[in-house]
Chain A
């Protein structure tokens, strides 16, 4: 199923059935130091009701991609090229008023830090009621009742009273619940959750992740779940896309990517991460070097300066030619399918499975 022979840069044709389809997306920012190519030729599809986990480190372009879907980037400094199709509707060229109808309605977002992401000036109830009034045309009273109902659903005790509170009167976990209530108030088809549990304590994180999963069952939304934490992604996602330096390097189902990863970067992530069941006496195997500057990204494969498997590809292909990524289970790497399989089985897997 690999598409290594495909020519670099050729966009994959849009999947007609996909609910959300991103095609050859390029996002760049003008900064004082030059142009930052934050997303560089990204394509992916998402089906209704499924959860896509996007995993990557800071600067991988995972958050930018999702702000761009809703047109929340700053148009003054940002250039967007490519296609974003939501049920066939092109979003990159959509008018602001069109996007406003989608935001919070068909597509909702949850942000990382619920303290700064909720306005300190308005009550929690009002902030939840607002999009319901706007998109559903509900009266103030009906919207408020809906807000109270949603707060109850996400597990805020005594929601009738708490709706009148301000965000700073909520604890961290409760704020994120309120944020989830706000996102789901109009029953969206797509929920974009950008590191929704990173700012939370681990026991609260577990509650919120389960809550999101249970609510997805009830609301049937598709979810794009963005995180840097492979453990969280393993818990949440059906499919995974691994991003590095503005592009996707590997994709597949959770089991495929986590149990039989193909890309050296994914191997590196798995190997550098301590786990509760790994051998604590075996040293971690970090990825050498640091993520590249997107002002001046490396030529060819963007991972090549940190990749320890370049010599197996041979020649200078990694430096000169950018590997492409296929639409289904695939990885953007010049290693052959056979090489990927054997390297993982013989060199990576034994390390991962070391037991105390």
Chain B
């Protein structure tokens, strides 16, 4: 079932020559009201889930969106798929503004943007057969593929590596990984141009995760579908994406091609994030040591985010300027084309170990001082 998923080496050109812009997001903002007050409940604050982000996804490209919980990556995905209405900003698809498009206007576009969800258990209707689930989008959009819908569903099942004979089975008869394949088949039913995948593998076991990542990669490359791949796992995102944006507290703080982000990051948060990923050193001693950065505390509340640069409260380089002035997302000197960083005091573009580790966590500082 899965042998066919081991793929040939990808076409080299894909990463270097992005196609036409498919999806352009400008100044996207989503604030959720916080209710409270007395005696009549009213809006007393805003959760600034997404606070002014710009993104471009090109035709056929896989674009990764990483960040920790509360950074707004999932909200961004839902804004783009129009599951949420943005507060401000524009979303345009193939040059057409779809930010506030109504159902009717959206209909032809909706089929071209599909979504894959995290939880393969709750995202499939348990009372519908697999055939019904996958043909659902075709019915809703009144699409009659050649040879009938059933034939198309069988094709799709085959594409995602499931037995076409299982057309009449129910979701509970499948394992988690297989259910996620059903989710992929459903997303493919309308021949989309863009798939927004929100943590598509994080609910799966490691060995199953790889199967689904490979499937998505196959779909992306062979069918030329652009992906917005949202995940918290930096290694998975690196594996899947040609370009990557790093989000923190509702802002994109760094964006660039994969190599720039993963080997030449400039934003201190990107450094901290990469340094925090626990890694298996399979090779032994011949690999250069990675830098060690340990931040203090957790992400601040998105209801009252810090002024200026939002990372400054946890940053070891923060100065007065960071509180006063929000750093623009720009190409810094030394950055590759398309590598943008929002930082007043960027780091050196390397992830190798420093002379002295950056340890900000007071408990770690205290414990490690007594050790020495």
- Residues in A lying within 8 Å of B, measured CB to CB: 57-58, 153-155, 157, 171-174, 177, 201-207, 209-211, 214-215, 217-218, 228-232, 234-235, 255, 258-259, 268-278, 280-291, 352-353, 356
Contact = CB atoms under 8 A, between A and B. Distances in A.
Contacts of B276: 202-203, 205-206
B159 interface: no
Nearest to B207: A287
Given A173-B298, A211-B364, A289 B238 contact: no
B363 A154 contact: yes
Nearest to B282: A352
In order of increasing CB-CB distance, the 6 nearest A-B pairs are: A155-B363, A272-B210, A286-B210, A231-B278, A206-B276, A214-B367
A277 B213 CA distance: 17
Contacts of B283: 259, 352-353
Contact of B209 (A205, A211, A271, A272): A272
A276 B238 contact: yes
Nearest to B370: A218
B200 to A, nearest CB: 14
**Which secondary structure dominates where chain B touches chain A?**
helix
Contact of B2 (A232, A286, A352): A286
Contacts of A210: 294, 361, 364
B264 to A, nearest CB: 13
Interface stretch (B46-54, B86-94, B112-120, B267-275): B267-275
Contacts of A154: 363
Interface in B253-292: 258-259, 262, 272-284, 287
B278 A274 contact: no
A231 B294 CA distance: 17
A284 B368 contact: no
A273 B363 contact: no
B110 to A, nearest CB: 31
Contacts of B280: 230-231, 234, 258, 270, 273, 275
B371 interface: yes
Given A269-B207, A285-B210, A201 B2 contact: no
A234 B210 contact: no
A276 B7 contact: no
Contact of A283 (B217, B275, B281): B217
A278 B282 CA distance: 10
A187 to B, nearest CB: 15
Nearest to B235: A274
Contacts of A205: 276, 278
B59 interface: no
Which of B214, B235, B262, B363 has the most CB atoms of chain A within a 10 A radius of its CB?
B363
B362 A274 contact: no
Contact of A218 (B69, B236, B367): B367
Given A57-B207, A269-B206, A234 B364 contact: no
Nearest to B70: A201
Contacts of A57: 205-207
Which of B207, B217, B234 has the most CB atoms of chain A within a 10 A radius of its CB?
B207
Contacts of A291: 205, 207
B177 interface: yes
A234 B6 contact: no
A157 B178 CA distance: 45
Contact of B282 (A173, A174, A268, A353): A353
Given A205-B276, A275-B280, A214 B371 contact: yes
Which of B258, B262, B298 has the most CB atoms of chain A within a 10 A radius of its CB?
B298
A270 B363 contact: no
Given A173-B298, A353-B282, A202 B207 contact: no
Interface in B1-50: 1-3, 5-7, 9-10
Nearest to B371: A217
Interface in B220-264: 232, 234-236, 238-239, 258-259, 262
